[in-house]
Amino acid sequence: MPLTPAAEDTAEARRSANRGWATLVIVVAAAALALGALMWRLTGSVAPSGGDEGSAAEAMDEFAPIAERWVEERDHVTAEADLGDSDAVIVAVDDAAAWTETAVDDLAQIAADADGGSAPLYQRLVAVFDGRLDALHRLQATGGATASAEWAAAEAQLDALGAESDAIICDIAGEMRGEGDDPDAHITPSMDVAC
């Protein structure tokens, strides 16, 4: 059945309006996508995420607080051992062991996220902290007997691990230089490492 001229005009007006709305929706969607892409590029270029740093430097920024805290924990154990109060020594060693156990997990995550030539170096730091935890457990087993041979052996293990840690951090500094970063901007004085 054919439409009347008035009904045909109404149907044509509806089709025309629908085409107009569809065009408007397409234009708005395209503009939103273009604006989103522009914002993404702008925020990526000015983001303070350290995007200009290499993987070694980014990982060192995460590792530095761990290394600084280790120095504090080690100094605390040494200070208490020098005072000779076995109860205070055990408290210091227990605190250091509890913190180091957490630090090993945190460092393992940092190492897992590291890329490039520094990744195996960060894995070696995880092994160093595992060794430190082992040495702290050996100190705990002495019951605070700082004059014992067992204490001296565990202290020697901690000293050797400290030297190994310093060497690894200096190797990471070399990786940072290779990535165009300044190691002095990432290896803090509180880490007590000279490369």
Cβ-contact 181, 53 below 8 angstroms: yes
Cβ-contact 147, 92 below 8 angstroms: no
Instruction: Give the pLDDT confidence score for residue 48 in this predicted structure.
Output: 39
Rounded Cα–Cα distance for residues 84 and 10 (Å):
100
Instruction: Give the pLDDT confidence score for residue 46 in this predicted structure.
Output: 41
> What does DSSP assign to residue 191?
G
> What does DSSP assign to residue 49?
S
Domain boundaries, the chain: 1-47, 55-191
Helix (H, G, I), strand (E, B) or coil at 174: helix
Name the residue among 168, 195, 192, 191 with its Cα closest to residue 183. 195
Q: Give the burial string for 164-195 (b: 16+ CB within 10 Å, else e).
A: ebbebbebbbebbeebebebeebbeeebebee
CA 104 to chain centre: 12
Instruction: Give the pLDDT confidence score for residue 4 in this predicted structure.
Output: 74
> What does DSSP assign to residue 47?
-
Instruction: Give the pLDDT confidence score for residue 102 in this predicted structure.
Output: 95
Joined tokens for residue 155? 């202290």
pLDDT in tens, the chain (195 residues): 566 766 666 666 666 666 766 676 676 666 666 666 656 665 544 433 444 567 899 999 999 999 999 999 999 999 999 998 999 999 999 999 999 999 999 999 999 999 889 999 999 999 999 999 999 999 999 999 999 999 999 999 999 999 999 999 999 999 999 999 999 999 999 998 988
Rounded Cα–Cα distance for residues 112 and 108 (Å):
6
